[in-house]
Structure 1
Amino acid sequence: MALRPVILTETTTAGQAESFQNQTLRPILKLQNDLLLRLFRHYLVKRKQLGADSRFGRMSQSEQHTYIDHAIRTDLKFRNLLIGTIVGQFTSAELAVFLSDESELSRRLGNMLTQRIQSQQALLLAIQE
């Protein structure tokens, strides 16, 4: 936990899911940011979207956003890899909270993963394998 960055968020009367999102998920996503981008870049290369004939690189920004969203929402194997990358950083207590509301927290985590990768899509093309 000492490795996790501190992220300041507004303190509100948030529910348990939002508190968990702000106190646990956001710091872990920030900590694992480079790894998440590299995993998505590998996903693109594996599906022949990057490389000599870079289809992803020729897409408009809007099309790239749509592609990222679609990949994370519909490719369950890949989505579970990304979620597992984050869940693997949980403490036992955090895992217990996550499992108590797994459906809602997985949905939130999927949205956060999508937004994080979309906001840095230009870096996907710049990362060296």
Structure 2
Amino acid sequence: MSSAEQFQNDTLRPILKAQNELLVALFRHYLQKRKIAFERFSPEDQLAHIEQIIRKDLQFRSLLLGTIVGHLSPAQYLIFLQDEEELNRRTINMLIRRLQSQLVAA
């Protein structure tokens, strides 16, 4: 197991779980603020739209990442900085999957 994967499982995943309600609320607010009729999309389009929003809207993606990184201790943050690019990628992927699993009507 790589150090990035270890950090993801031991540190980032529990933070995402603890902040789940806030992350969902932030995404719902994003949709409302931009008047996106998300519930009218097909489930496939909802999945794609969640991913597209998080990958393309850099300001919103930074807000979500900051919500997670802000919960790291100073020691954890130093570890995070050692592999920041990889850990950001992993965090975004986990965020997308988490939101997709909760917001898309099956």
Q: Give the deviation of 1:93 after TM superposition.
A: 0.9
Paired letter, 2:28: R
Query: Where does residue 63 of structure 2 map in the other structure?
Result: 81
C-alpha separation in 2, matches of 1:122 and 1:108 = 21
- 1:116 maps to which of 94, 98, 105: 98
TM, length-normalised to structure 1: 0.79
Query: Where does residue 34 of structure 2 map in the other structure?
Result: 47
**SS of aligned partner of 2:35:** coil
Is the aligned partner of 1:97 residue 2:84? Answer: no
Is the aligned partner of 1:38 residue 2:25? Answer: yes
TM, length-normalised to structure 2: 0.96
Paired letter, 1:91: S
The alignment-based identity, stated in percent, is 56
- 1:29 maps to which of 10, 13, 16: 16
Runs of 4+ in structure 1 off by over 2 angstroms are none
Contact 2:46 2:104 in 1 (8 A): no
* Number of residues of Structure 1 aligned to a counterpart in Structure 2: 105
C-alpha separation in 1, matches of 2:95 and 2:3 = 20
Q: Give the deviation of 1:122 after TM superposition.
A: 4.5
Is the aligned partner of 1:16 residue 2:3? Answer: yes
Query: Counting helix residues as a fraction of each chain, which structure ranks higher?
Result: 2
**SS of aligned partner of 1:120:** helix
- 2:38 maps to which of 56, 59, 66: 56
Contact 2:47 2:104 in 1 (8 A): no
C-alpha separation in 2, matches of 1:122 and 1:109 = 20
**SS of aligned partner of 1:90:** coil
Q: Give the deviation of 1:66 after TM superposition.
A: 0.3
